Amino acid sequence: MSAFDAFPLGRPAFVTNILDRAAHLRRDDEKLFAMEQKPNSRAYVVYRDSLLVKREGDKIRALLSIDEALKCGANSGTIFLGLRDSAAMFGMGLSQAAAEKLVGREDYTLTELRGMAMQGAIPPEELSAIAMAKSMVSWHQRHGYCANCGTRSAMKEGGWKRECPACKAEHFPRTDPVVIMHVASGDKCLLGRQKQFPAGMYSCLAGFVEAAETIEDAVRREILEESGIRCTDVQYYMTQPWPYPSSLMIGCSARAVSEDIVVDRMELEDARWFTREEAALMLTRTHPDGLAGPHPFAIAHHLLGRWVHDKS
């Protein structure tokens, strides 16, 4: 299966949620514990930006039984992700020590999640649940203490809340909103590249939404700050959960009202205007200069692809 088959236009990674979140079960600790003991319960185990998978011949399996996860050193405090075909799904983390013990094993391995997803090694329909597990595990690992008084907080409600035993403050998982936008001026579009991008790759510009800022204002501000281009007519397209560590990419389009680029070298290595024909070649990796667009895994590919196919 090619990346274009795995992530057809309008369906980037992490957007197809196959789980019933079953939020009504989160407060029932006794029932969750009982579900965790059932033989049909399963878990995704994450370590930083990697996923624990089991090798089965020339294939890999990311969805592990609870027993498999625990034998690999996964943390016993599980996060309830929801139900799939009435079976409970959990998210679990690994300590550094447990991760180090997996080095050299032939049956289990830690593999970088983004690379596996882009290569199609994991079924696309599983990626949303994996993203949920990764985001939640990361949040617990980074927010173990009360932000109000500094006391060690406790996991509650199946992992969807932390509670301080001292001041009783409640803390909930956070998602950081990020705008990512396709900017066009007639039959040209604006794309930029960061230093860490693969050679020749250009993508849509993006940036975090700031406090008390609308999505539309964030789009206009980020484009102006990074490229010097002024925009109008901001339109919403779609969103993509992005578990690095836990963002929501808000895909938008905008119309440029200026064309003189002034690149912010602190943010971008380069920014350029590309014709619709060039963008089409970049998306299919056939540009004569070796230039490439974003991978179908990412919402930026779908923003650009929609514009390429829209001849109006």
> End-to-end CA distance of the chain, in Å?
31
pLDDT at 76: 77
Q: pTM, whole model, 2 decimals?
A: 0.95
Using alpha carbons, list the distances in angstroms from residue 129 to 16, 123, 136, 255. 9, 11, 11, 35
Per-residue pLDDT of 191-241, as tens digits, reads 999 999 999 999 999 999 999 999 999 999 999 999 999 999 999 999 999
Per-residue pLDDT of 146-179, as tens digits, reads 999 999 999 999 999 999 999 999 999 999 999 9
User: Mean of the pLDDT values across residues 241-264?
Assistant: 97
Give the residue ranges of DSSP H helices in the chain.
3-6, 29-36, 66-71, 96-101, 113-119, 127-142, 215-227, 276-283, 299-309
pLDDT at 142: 94
pLDDT at 78: 86
The rounded distance, in Å, linking the Cα atoms of 27 and 6 is 36
Total count of residues recorded for the chain? 312
pLDDT at 200: 97
User: Mean of the pLDDT values across residues 132-141?
Assistant: 96
Interior/surface letters 87-118, b for 16+ CB within 10 angstroms, e for the rest: ebbbbbbbeeebbeebeeeeebbbbebbebbb
Cβ partners under 8 Å of residue 266, min gap 6? none
pLDDT at 1: 64
Asked if 190 contacts 183 with a C-beta cutoff of 8 angstroms, the reply is yes
Pairing of strands 64-65, 79-84: unpaired
Per-residue pLDDT of 280-309, as tens digits, reads 999 999 999 999 999 999 999 999 999 999
pLDDT at 4: 87
pLDDT at 3: 83
User: Mean of the pLDDT values across residues 83-104?
Assistant: 96
pLDDT at 27: 96
Whether the per-residue pLDDT at 312 is higher than 50: the answer is: no
pLDDT at 310: 86
Q: Cis peptide before 165, with omega less than 30 degrees from 0?
A: no
- Specify the amino acid at residue 24: H
The rounded distance, in Å, linking the Cα atoms of 251 and 15 is 13
Per-residue pLDDT of 30-60, as tens digits, reads 999 999 999 999 999 999 999 999 999 989 9
The number of C-alpha atoms within 13 Å of 191 and in the hemisphere containing its C-beta is 26
User: Mean of the pLDDT values across residues 111-116?
Assistant: 94
Asked if 137 contacts 91 with a C-beta cutoff of 8 angstroms, the reply is yes
